[in-house]
């Protein structure tokens, strides 16, 4: 979703703001103040997208039309009518909390929108439909009309990931910091195997040494890199 947003926003500045899917994990626990993107002015965007994982087995797309104040959940396998209700309820609670804290989009009531997804014909294409629906929305196409392209979207996403992929930590010496301190240092740490941590927002892989921490956060604890903290927090 981040790659799609980056690509779309190159030609349409301020068109999409993607909320990382991990944010919804916090929402499931009613933790709405954990990551508010305080430096982001969401009202300048046309769309807010959030891939939402349901019961750790199915992906849906939450799409909020900022200008109209409408939010829809596009579910390619709608077996539970409460899925959309719960997703929208949590989104509205998060946005209300965010508006109260920083004032952005204050007063928006967030009505339920009418966007719908085409239905998938198998049990494993929900991720492809999330991306397909997002792409259709940004191009002004009815998402219900593009279901036949799900297989093509799977290949498209795969190629995008391969093209934009970076080598895993065990295949390189420098990390994704703007200036990798271990590469620049004349006296790097003596450890032959540097320890790494991955940012839960942008996906960057970083040396613990370069971000000045001694240990990576434990399981279930999010790590946000200095770049994302400076950009969003």
How far the first Cα of the chain sits from its last, in Å, is 20
Task: Please give the Cα distance from 177 to 183 (Å, whole number).
Answer: 11
pLDDT band with cut points at 50, 70 and 90 for residue 14: low
pLDDT at 233: 67
How much is the pTM? 0.80
Of residues 93 and 227, the one with the higher pLDDT is 93
- Is residue 227's pLDDT more than 60? yes
98-108 pLDDT per residue, tens: 999 999 999 89
Residues 6 or more apart whose CB falls under 8 angstroms from that of 110 comprise 64, 69, 70, 71, 88, 91, 92, 95
- Mean per-residue pLDDT, 65-74: 96
pLDDT at 217: 87
Domains in the chain (CATH in brackets) are 2-164 (3.40.395.10), 167-233 (3.30.40.10)
193-203 pLDDT per residue, tens: 788 998 887 88
105: left (phi over 0), alpha (psi -120 to 50) or beta: left
DSSP state of 149: G
Q: Which of 168-172, 183-187, 200-204, 213-217 has the highest mean pLDDT?
A: 213-217
Rounded to whole angstroms, the maximal C-alpha distance in the chain is: 60
Task: Please give the Cα distance from 90 to 152 (Å, whole number).
Answer: 32
Question: What number of CA atoms fall less than 13 Å from residue 216's CA on the CB side?
Answer: 13
Of 61-65, 106-110, 113-117, the range with the lowest mean pLDDT is: 106-110
CB 115 within 8 A of CB 74: yes
pLDDT at 191: 59
Q: Of 20, 84, 94, which is closest to residue 54 (Cα–Cα)?
A: 84
User: In what helix (H) or strand (E) does residue 112 lie, and over which residues does it extend?
Assistant: strand 111-112
3-state SS class at 144:
helix
- Is residue 163's pLDDT more than 90? no
User: In what helix (H) or strand (E) does residue 155 lie, and over which residues does it extend?
Assistant: helix 150-164
């Amino acid at each position: 979703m981040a790659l799609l947003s980056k690509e779309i926003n190159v030609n349409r500045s301020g068109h999409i703001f993607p909320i990382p899917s991990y944010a919804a994990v916090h929402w499931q626990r009613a933790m709405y103040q954990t990551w508010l993107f305080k430096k982001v002015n969401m009202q300048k965007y046309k769309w807010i997208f959030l891939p939402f994982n349901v019961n750790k087995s199915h992906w849906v797309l939450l799409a909020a039309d900022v200008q109209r104040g409408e939010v829809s959940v596009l579910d390619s396998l709608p077996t539970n009518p409460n899925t959309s209700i719960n997703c929208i309820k949590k989104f509205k609670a998060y946005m209300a909390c965010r508006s109260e804290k920083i004032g952005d989009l204050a007063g928006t009531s967030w009505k339920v929108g009418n966007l719908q997804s085409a239905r998938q014909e198998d049990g494993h294409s929900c991720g492809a439909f999330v991306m397909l629906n997002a792409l259709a929305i940004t191009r002004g196409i009815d998402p219900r009309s593009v279901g036949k392209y799900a297989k093509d979207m799977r290949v498209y996403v795969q190629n995008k990931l391969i093209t934009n992929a970076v080598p895993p930590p065990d295949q390189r010496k420098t990390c994704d910091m703007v200036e990798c301190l271990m590469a620049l240092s004349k006296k790097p740490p003596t450890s032959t195997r540097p320890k790494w941590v991955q940012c839960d927002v942008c996906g960057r892989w970083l040396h613990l040494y370069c971000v000045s921490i001694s240990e990576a956060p434990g399981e279930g604890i999010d790590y946000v890199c200095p770049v994302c903290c400076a950009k969003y927090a």
